[in-house]
């Protein structure tokens, strides 16, 4: 009897996370930015790229607030929304989940990564040889993170 109960609990623990997830498709039409809303909120991951154009988080796709995935510049993809079960918390700052994105200045040009910066931003890892210096070669405002002069870095949102 105990073995059956243990087996049942193992199966339920493996299946339970699937009950709190969904996949949505979001497509950039003719290169324009498009937003796709979903109910609730959770961790968003690119599951399957459908376009020939690369889908790069922070550049051609990202999240806006708690309920929206956006795509641009021809990115078309299926996104996995992993829901949090009530009471689960991991790397939360208030009610906002911490997450990491890469933002890059190509050919020393200024580039903006449209992300929600409401809960702060910190540079977690520099990827470029060129220096990434706050308020000089990178910074952020209410519209997102900006980089220039060859700064390429991984940023954590929600410090």
**pTM of the predicted model, to two decimals?**
0.45
Mean pLDDT to the nearest integer, 152-159: 82
Domain ranges of the chain: 20-84, 91-159
Q: What is the pLDDT of residue 92?
A: 43
Is the model more confident about 75 or about 5? 75
Mean pLDDT to the nearest integer, 77-103: 61
Any residues with CB less than 8 A from the CB of 154 and at least 6 apart, and which?
A: 100, 101, 102, 123, 124, 125, 127
Q: 115 falls in which pLDDT band (50, 70, 90)?
A: confident
| Burial class of 145 by CB neighbour count within 10 A (0 to 12, 13 to 18, 19+) | buried
Mean pLDDT to the nearest integer, 41-65: 85
Answer yes or no: is pLDDT of 101 > 60.
yes
Cα distance between residue 78 and residue 133, in whole Å:
35
């Amino acid at each position: 009897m105990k073995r059956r109960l243990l087996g049942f609990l193992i199966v339920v623990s493996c299946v339970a996370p699937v009950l709190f997830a969904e996949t949505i498709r979001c497509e950039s039409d003719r290169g324009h930015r498009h937003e796709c809303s979903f109910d609730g909120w959770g961790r968003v991951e690119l599951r399957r790229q459908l376009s020939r154009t690369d889908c790069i988080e922070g550049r051609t796709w990202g999240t806006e607030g708690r309920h929206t995935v956006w795509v641009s510049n021809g990115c078309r993809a299926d996104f996995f929304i992993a829901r949090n079960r009530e009471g689960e918390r991991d790397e939360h700052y208030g009610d906002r989940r911490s997450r990491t994105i890469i933002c890059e200045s190509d050919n020393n040009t200024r580039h903006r990564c449209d992300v929600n910066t409401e809960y702060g931003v910190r540079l977690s890892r520099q990827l470029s040889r060129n220096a990434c210096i706050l308020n000089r070669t990178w910074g952020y405002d209410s519209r997102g993170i900006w980089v220039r002069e060859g700064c390429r870095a991984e940023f954590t949102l929600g410090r």
